[in-house]
Structure 1
Amino acid sequence: MKLTPQSIRNNVRITWNGEPISKQEIIDMSVHWNEKQITYFKKIVKQGGTVKIGTNKFKIVIGDPILTSRGEKDGGIQQIPDTDSRF
């Protein structure tokens, strides 16, 4: 089993042994990994950090979330109840 493109989000920057690496290159490398290594890599991609798989060292940096002008995380679309749904 290997990683899928959905496993690596767009706001994640990954370096491999100090060099930037593309999503497709990581997917191609993951063909040679076992299930435990893939699971561990997915966890680190979600939270950020450094992981070493075999002789390959990956550094994962998570991008900042989108914030409002107040510096808060966006709450999404506010649902306003209409007159029919109140009763």
Structure 2
Amino acid sequence: MLVVVANNLPPAVRGRMKLWFVEPRTNVFVSGVKDSVAKTVIDYLYQHCPPESGVMIFRSTSRPPGYEIRTIGPTKKKLLELSGLQLVIETLKN
């Protein structure tokens, strides 16, 4: 499975992503593509998304913990790696 969350994708990239993914919310894409296709999509995103796109990519893997997270540019949520486990930091609002 591949999930892509972006702050702002270029229109051409967003249009291409709609070919492979379901877009449940603006700039949130979800797909059950195979690993080889997922790697192709990730390479495409790295080639065509400027850093200001703020892309966070979640890809399922066969190794523990079962996923990997990659980013392109600064994202709204921060990542933390703790003992090899990638976590997304969620701030609490009062």
Q: Could you state the TM-score of these two structures normalised by the residue count of structure 1?
A: 0.34
| Structure exhibiting the larger radius of gyration computed from Cα positions | 1
Question: Counting strand residues as a fraction of each chain, which structure ranks higher?
Answer: 2
